[in-house]
Amino acid sequence: MADHHVGTANSTQLGEALRRTKLANMTRSGFVLKPGSRSIIQKWLPHDIDGIQPPMDHSAGYLPDAIWSRTRGYIESVCKQLNGCFGAAYYDAASVMLRRLMETLIIEAYEHLKREGEIKDTEGNYFMLKHLVERASGKPPHSGLNLGRDAKKNLEEVKALGDKSAHSRRFVAHAPDLVNIQHGVRTAAQELIQIANLK
């Protein structure tokens, strides 16, 4: 029940309720379903139970929903996962989602400005985040996206943290790694969303 976010039951009451269903046998370690019971129980559950996200107040998340709501569905999905991972203390996962968010927002900004050719290779593929950050930040000889100083600094920080979380075998992210760059994340995300005219 906890894994599927359908509630936290009182174990005594749950045990009594399970006995009354007559769908399970009690053992020393708990309950075991009787043959044929699984299909009955599955009919009681929502068909999409594996995709149900736990309720969360995204207004108080790592990146508040006031910044990213009503942008694009895939951006909102990444932000929800970022907030969910951070709230559940999965800090490496949150770092990778943050990296993905900034990569997406940079591409969206260039596409909106019809300058995507500046961030693609000769085969038409978008550059990796390192080169996206260099171009968005306006490192010579690139013209950049006219980002503020804090936003430029934050893109470098997000890339560094995301790279460690995604690629370093011995690195494990902790809450301060993300909290220390949170203000800059908000600034960079807001600026990129405005440049990309996503809201």
Burial class (CB in 10 A: 0-12, 13-18, 19+), 109: buried
pLDDT one digit per residue (tens) for the chain, 199 residues: 666 666 677 888 888 888 888 888 888 888 888 998 888 888 887 777 666 677 788 899 999 999 999 999 999 999 999 999 999 999 999 999 999 999 999 999 999 999 999 999 999 999 999 999 999 999 999 999 999 999 999 999 999 999 999 999 999 999 999 999 999 999 999 999 999 999 8
| Residues composing the chain | 199
Identify the CATH class of 58-195: mainly alpha
* Contact (Cβ atoms closer than 8 angstroms) between residue 167 and residue 82: no
CA dihedral for 54, 59, 63, 65, sign (positive or negative): positive
SS (H, E, C) the chain: CCCCCCCCCCHHHHHHHHHHHCCEEEECCEEEECCCHHHHHHHHCCCCHHHCCCCCCHHHCCCCHHHHCCCCHHHHHHHHHHHHHHHCCCHHHHHHHHHHHHHHHHHHHHHHCCCHHHHECCCCCECCHHHHHHHHHCCCCCCCCCCCHHHHHHHHHHHHHHHHHHHCCCCCCCHHHHHCCHHHHHHHHHHHHHHCCCC
| pLDDT tens digits along 94-130 | 999 999 999 999 999 999 999 999 999 999 999 999 9
The ranges of the chain annotated as CATH 1.20.120 are 58-195
pTM for the whole thing?
A: 0.76
